[in-house]
Structure 1
C-alpha cells in the first residue's frame, strides 16, 4: 500500500512541477517580451527567470555579497542565512546564483512533500496520509516548493525531517534538523515547543520516564541563536531582522494586531487585484486558525502547539495577512487534520484537489509575470 501511495504522490508532484514550470516559463516569456529591447535568452532560462522574483533578489545578494543592515530600512538581515548559504554552496559547483537558488528549491520542495507522506503514515492510516499529502502537493501556494527561489522548500524539508526523526525515536537527529530549520526561518519558538511537547507525548505513550535528555529539543533553537549572535557581533543589533521589517511597513503594534491596514485596503483604497489577494490570504489564515483546535484533538498536543505557534507568529506580525498563504506551508500538520476532517466528504476533498491544481498553474504564471502573489 505504501509503495502504491508513494508512486501516486510522486506522479502527482512530478505533474504539478512540470505544469508549474511550463506556466512559469510562459509567464516569464510574456513579461520578458513586453520590453522589445530585452535580450534573447534560451528556453531553460525563461523557466529559471519565472521562478526568480521579489525576495529572490535579496537571497541572491546575501549569497554573493553577505549581509547589510540599515536601521529602519529594507535590509538583507531580514532573511535568515541557511538558504543563502545553500545557494552559495551550489554556486561553487559552477551554477550562477539564480540557477543555484532554483536548484536548491527544486531539490528540497518535492522531497519535502514525499517525506511528508512518510511522516503522516506514522500518525494516521495510509489512505488518510495519502489524502493529506495530495492536499499539500496541490495546495495553491505549494508552487513555492516547485522551484521558486525562496527558502520555504528548504525549511519545510528540514522541519518535516525533524519531526519524522522524532517519531522514529532519533532524538539527536531531530534536534540537529530542527536547529538547521531555525537557521532558515524566524520561527524557532514553534520548532522548540513542537519538538519538546511531542517528545514528552512520545515518551508517555511508551510508558517511559522523562529525563534530562528529553530536554534536548531546546537546542533546536541554536540556528536562530547563532544568527542572533552574528547580528550582534557584526551590526550591534541582535534582532536587526525585526527592525528591518519596518522597511516593508511591517512593525509590531496595535494597528498590525487589529489588521487595520487590511480593512483599509480591502474596503477603501485597494484596487480589485489587491482586494482579491488580501481576501484570499485572510481566508486561508482563518481556515488555518480553525484547524488548530482539531489538530490538538486528532494529532496531539505537540503538533497542536507547533501549529498554534507557527501560524500565530506571522498572524500577529503581519499587518494585512499578506504572505500568510505561503507561510501556512510550514504548518504542515494542518493538512493531515484537514484530510481527517474530510474523510467522509470525498467530493469536497476532490474539489479541493482540482481547485488547488488549477491555482498552482495560475499562481505560477502570475508570479512569473511579476504580480505580487505572496
Structure 2
C-alpha cells in the first residue's frame, strides 16, 4: 500500500513472528499505555470524589446502569427477555450483540467475579488493548510521538469515562483498532478474524469489515490481480470472507429467532433505533435551534461541523484508504442513526481516526506543552464524565 510509504514503516505479513513482534510493540507502546492508564485513573478518582459528595456508589455507576444491566442479564440468563413500555415501545435484549455478555459469562464462571464485575474487568482490560492498538496505528503512520498522543487523546475524550464502564465500547475499539492495524500491515487472517469478532460486539462492526475490504481491494484490484487471488493471495481472500461473518451471523440468527428476515432491524425499531440518513437527528438539532436559549442546538451544530471538518482533514492528509473507510463508516453510522441523540458522543468513541489531525498538531508542540494540553483536557474530561454519570439520562 503506497499510503504507508512516507512513514518508513514496512508493511508486515502473516509470515512474521507474532510473539516477538507483539513484545516489541508492547515495549514501544509502554509510555503511551502508562499515560493512557493515567487518564483513566484520573477519571475514576474524580468520579469517586464526586460520588462521595453525591452519596452514590462509583461501582454501581460503572457496572450497573443502563446498557450494562442488559449485558449482565444476557450473561446470566441468555437471550429472550423483552420489556414492554407504557409508550408502546418494545425493548428486546436481542438488540445487544453477544460477545461482551459471552465474555462476562466466561469470566464470572472461572473467577469469583459477578457478571457485572466481569463486565468491568473486560472493559478495563480491553481499554488498554484499545489504547495499544490506537498507538500502533498512529505509530505506524506517523511515528511514536503521534501514536502516543493519539492514544492519550482517545482517553481524554469528553465521554471517555465510558471506556471504564461495563459497556462494549472498549472491547469493540480494541478489536477495531487492531483489525485496522492488521489490514494496514497485510495480516489478512488476523484482520478478517478481528473484523468478525468486532461484528459480534456492536452493529458498527460493519465499519471494520469496510476497512478490511478496502485494504483487500487496494491489494487485489490493480492490474487484475484478483483473477489469480485464489492462488497468489489466498490469505487476502480468506480475510475478505472471514470479515463479515460475525456481524452477518448474528443478524441472521436474530432473524431465525424472530421468524423474520428483517428481525434484527425490527428489534432496533422497537428501541426507536435504526438508520434514516440523519433525518431524525437533523430534526432534533433544528428543534433546539428554534427554541431559546438556542445554546444546545448551536453546540450540536458546531460539534457536527467539527466532526465533518476533522474527517475532511483526514482525507487531505491522505490517510490510508482502510483507515478512511473505517473512520467514515463509524461517523456516518453514528450521525445518521435515529433515536437516543444523547448517546451519539458515546457512539463516536470508536472513531479514533478522526483524532489523528489533532494528534499530529499536538505532537509538533514541545513535549511540555503537549503534556499541559492533554493534562488540562484530561481533567476537564474527568469532571465532565463524573457529572454525566451522576445525571438522569443514559450515556
Tell me which interval the TM-score lies in, with the shorter structure as reference length: 0.7 to 0.9
1:48 counterpart = 2:67 = no
2:383 maps to what in 1?
A: 362
Distance 1:352 1:281, change over 3 A: farther
Distance 1:129 1:202, change over 3 A: farther
1:38 maps to what in 2?
A: none
1:272-291 → structure 2 map (5 Å cutoff) = 276=296, 283-291=302-310
Q: Using structure 2 for the length normalisation, give the TM-score.
A: 0.78
2:6 maps to what in 1?
A: none
Tell me the SS of whatever aligns to 1:299: coil
After TM superposition, give the deviation of residue 105 of structure 1 in Å. 0.4
After TM superposition, give the deviation of residue 142 of structure 1 in Å. 2.1
Which residue, out of 283, 295, 305, partners 2:314?
295
Q: Using structure 1 for the length normalisation, give the TM-score.
A: 0.82
Structure 1, 50-59 or 22-31: larger mean CA deviation: 22-31
Is the 8 Å Cα contact of residues 91 and 97 (structure 1) preserved in structure 2? yes
2:127 maps to what in 1?
A: 109
After TM superposition, give the deviation of residue 257 of structure 1 in Å. 4.5
Structure 1, 7-16 or 96-105: larger mean CA deviation: 7-16
1:91 counterpart = 2:108 = yes
1:256 maps to what in 2?
A: 279
2:159 maps to what in 1?
A: 141
Structure 1, 249-258 or 13-22: larger mean CA deviation: 249-258
1:1-374 → structure 2 map (5 Å cutoff) = 6-32=29-55, 46-52=57-63, 53-68=65-80, 69=82, 72-92=89-109, 93-145=111-163, 147-201=164-218, 209-210=225-226, 211-212=229-230, 213=234, 214-215=236-237, 216-253=239-276, 256-257=279-280, 259-265=282-288, 267-268=290-291, 276=296, 283-297=302-316, 298-319=318-339, 321-341=341-361, 353-372=374-393, 374=395
After TM superposition, give the deviation of residue 283 of structure 1 in Å. 4.0
After TM superposition, give the deviation of residue 252 of structure 1 in Å. 4.4
Distance 1:208 1:342 in 2: 41
Is the 8 Å Cα contact of residues 49 and 368 (structure 1) preserved in structure 2? no
Could you give the per-residue CA deviations for residues 174-199 of structure 1, whole angstroms, max 9, x where no partner exists?
A: 11111000110112432222111123
Tell me the SS of whatever aligns to 1:234: helix
Distance 1:101 1:285, change over 3 A: farther
Larger RCO, structure (CA 8 Å, separation 6 or more): 1
Distance 1:167 1:290 in 2: 24
After TM superposition, give the deviation of residue 130 of structure 1 in Å. 2.0
- Segments of 5+ residues of structure 1 without an aligned counterpart are 34-45
Structure 1, 178-187 or 129-138: larger mean CA deviation: 129-138
Distance 2:348 2:276 in 1: 22
Could you give the per-residue CA deviations for residues 330-358 of structure 1, whole angstroms, max 9, x where no partner exists?
A: 11222223323555567996675245312
Is the 8 Å Cα contact of residues 256 and 320 (structure 1) preserved in structure 2? no
User: CA RMSD of the aligned region, Å?
Assistant: 3.3
1:36 maps to what in 2?
A: none
Distance 1:134 1:231, change over 3 A: same
Distance 2:288 2:93 in 1: 27
